[in-house]
Amino acid sequence: MIIIGSGAGGGTLARALAPSGLSILILERGDYLPREWGNWDPHTVFAEHRYHTPEQWHDGDGQIFTPVTGYHVGGNTKFYGAAVLRRREKDFLPRHHRDGLTPAWPIAYADLAPHYDQAEAWYFTHGQAGADPLEPPRGPFAFPPFPHEPLLAALEQKLRNMGLHPFPLPLALHRNEEDPAHSPCVRCPTCDGFPCLLHAKGDAEVCGVTPALAHANVRLLTRHRVLRLLPGGDGRGVEGVETDQGTLRARVVVLAAGAVNSAALLLASADAAAPQGLANSSDQVGRNYMCHLNSACMALKAAQENTTVFQKTLAINDFYDDSGDPDYPYPLGHIQNLGKVTPALLHAQQPLLPIPLVAWTASHSVDWWLTTEDLPDAGNRVTLDSDGHIRLAWQPKNRESHQRLCDQWRKILHQAGFPMVFFQAMDISATAHQVGTCRFGEDPADSVLDPWCRAHDLANLYVVDASFMPSISAVNPSLTIMANAIRVAAHLAERFKTGAWA
């Protein structure tokens, strides 16, 4: 088996399949991310962009942008904020939004629940069962929640007194609060968006690829960029892949290059038998790209310095199901803390602001991340320009809901004593939460993959990254990608055992 990509989907799949005895080769276009002081330096990460790709993509109008993404062993989980939430039960069903209806998934929450358990255990997930008012049925977390530092603890109480239901954000970090002297994670201020210098973040290198490589039947080739998949002569399967280092063959190919790159690879693999691209008889490959509507928010009061070091501990789902306004009966979204915005980080991201202003603002702010669900739209899609450039056309849905979420949160923060509240919306270059370009479903006319994430058109091609999602929900995507990879691994192991590959 060849697995293309070693991120949340590919890395987790490799770990789950390693004990099966299958001969597995992981192909990763990047290298191991170097461990160096720059991992925790805001200037290196956010001004020099040392770990992000310099690649340029085009938007729907042909304008160039540089996506905030990186190619390394572990994929984008090397940078993630490690906020790992389960989708709600309702997120698997059609749901009415301001701008339309989400499609039903071909599986229910109950199908994924045991795999969520496994993913949480592998990725060191800390949390408190029962605290999130919309949480789906689940058992206790393997690790206790991250405690809030004093300012956040006081704010949580204030929000509670205002009738809200804040809860500890589930986090995939290897922290031992009871024995801080020996804890791998030291609760530093440079986690959200940064690689972890200590390898204490539950990322797909640490929790997926490395444990997989402990098995003799698993190999990894870094710096191997897959250029196209090679269709078999009968048109019903793939024979292998062409990389920038040569051709490799396998009986099964699993694509896990991320939602944009996986779609781009299938489109780049077009040939005379499949002129629209591989696995694309439905013309759905690359379509229905979704990305969260996200805004960063800074809330300040002049009289209060914020000395919190590790801030990403609080979340609010009070507007997840509906707005609270009977005249606007639609979901608004999810709110969680950002990692603490420090003066160095703010300066790296806003180099034109005067330094004293940056220093004062960042030392007084409490920082938040607001998320609204985007909806599938066939016109939001990945295509390839004639020169092979990736083109990403994206006009997000539910903009009004996102604006209302920001307005609600501003009002609440004012009431909680923060007179100054600023928002910054993310644009198309913020591709962190990319999903949906090869959605799974029962109907081959309307989906790329079957419910086991196997291509409807090709018997030995699977896709296990964020592409498979028919809807994005308003929670962070990684835990669902990991849980789904574990679910698909069980299916693949069974096929392998029974010799039923094709």
Name the site residues for ligand SF4 (rule: CB under 6 A).
Answer: 173, 185-188, 190-191, 194, 196, 198, 200-201, 310
Q: What is the DSSP string of 131-195?
A: -STTPPS----SBPPPPPPHHHHHHHHHHHHTT---EEPPEEB---TT-GGG-S----S--TTS-
Distance linking the first and last C-alpha atoms of the chain: 13
| Residue 476 binds which entry of ligand FAD, ligand SF4, none, CB below 5-8 Å type-dependent | ligand FAD
**Least CB distance to ligand SF4 at residue 208 (A):** 16
Cα 466 to chain centroid, rounded: 7
Asked whether the CA dihedral 204, 106, 369, 165 is positive or negative, the reply is: negative
Task: Kindly tell me which residue out of 3, 15, 18, 28 binds ligand FAD, with binding defined by CB under 6 A.
Answer: 28
Whose Cβ is closer to ligand SF4: residue 149's or residue 450's? 149
Q: Is 83 in the site for ligand FAD (CB under 6 A)?
A: yes
Whose Cβ is closer to ligand SF4: residue 193's or residue 451's? 193
Whose Cβ is closer to ligand FAD: residue 204's or residue 298's? 204
**Least CB distance to ligand FAD at residue 227 (A):** 7
Whose Cβ is closer to ligand SF4: residue 200's or residue 226's? 200
Cα separation, 161 vs 428, in Å, equals 37
Q: Is 168 in the site for ligand FAD (CB under 6 A)?
A: no
Residue 126 gets which letter from DSSP?
E
Cα separation, 334 vs 352, in Å, equals 31
Whose Cβ is closer to ligand SF4: residue 115's or residue 201's? 201
| Residue 76 binds which entry of ligand SF4, ligand FAD, none, CB below 5-8 Å type-dependent | ligand FAD
Residue 43 gets which letter from DSSP?
I
**382 by DSSP, 3-state: which?**
strand
Sequence-separated (6 or more) residues with CB below 8 Å from residue 476: 80, 81, 83, 84, 85, 371, 433
Other beta carbons less than 10 A from residue 271's beta carbon: 12
| Residue 465 binds which entry of ligand SF4, ligand FAD, none, CB below 5-8 Å type-dependent | ligand FAD
**Least CB distance to ligand FAD at residue 272 (A):** 23
8 A C-beta contact, residue 258 and residue 70: no
By beta carbon distance, the residue nearest ligand FAD is 7
**Least CB distance to ligand SF4 at residue 477 (A):** 19
| Residue 477 binds which entry of ligand SF4, ligand FAD, none, CB below 5-8 Å type-dependent | ligand FAD
| Residue 173 binds which entry of ligand SF4, ligand FAD, none, CB below 5-8 Å type-dependent | ligand SF4
Say what angle helices 109-122 and 478-498 make with each other, to 10 degrees.
100
Task: Kindly tell me which residue out of 80, 109, 122, 289 binds ligand FAD, with binding defined by CB under 6 A.
Answer: 80
Beta bridge partners of 372: 293
Place of tokens 């720059």: 38
| Residue 483 binds which entry of ligand FAD, ligand SF4, none, CB below 5-8 Å type-dependent | none
**91 by DSSP, 3-state: which?**
helix
Q: Is 193 in the site for ligand FAD (CB under 6 A)?
A: yes
| Residue 4 binds which entry of ligand FAD, ligand SF4, none, CB below 5-8 Å type-dependent | ligand FAD
Q: Is 77 in the site for ligand FAD (CB under 6 A)?
A: yes
Task: Kindly tell me which residue out of 2, 16, 18, 84 binds ligand FAD, with binding defined by CB under 6 A.
Answer: 84
Cα 260 to chain centroid, rounded: 12
The residue range among 28-36, 95-103, 455-463, 486-494 that interacts with ligand FAD, by the rule CB under 6 A, is: 28-36
Cα 124 to chain centroid, rounded: 17
Cα separation, 185 vs 406, in Å, equals 32
**Least CB distance to ligand SF4 at residue 191 (A):** 3
Q: Is 4 in the site for ligand FAD (CB under 6 A)?
A: yes
**Least CB distance to ligand FAD at residue 90 (A):** 19
Residues across the chain? 502
Q: Is 76 in the site for ligand FAD (CB under 6 A)?
A: yes
Question: Which of these, 17, 35, 37, 36, lies nearest to 26 by C-alpha position?
Answer: 17
Asked whether the CA dihedral 32, 35, 41, 47 is positive or negative, the reply is: negative
Return residues touching ligand FAD (CB under 6 A): 4-10, 27-30, 68, 71, 75-77, 79-84, 193, 225-226, 256-259, 261, 265, 432-433, 465-466, 476-478, 481
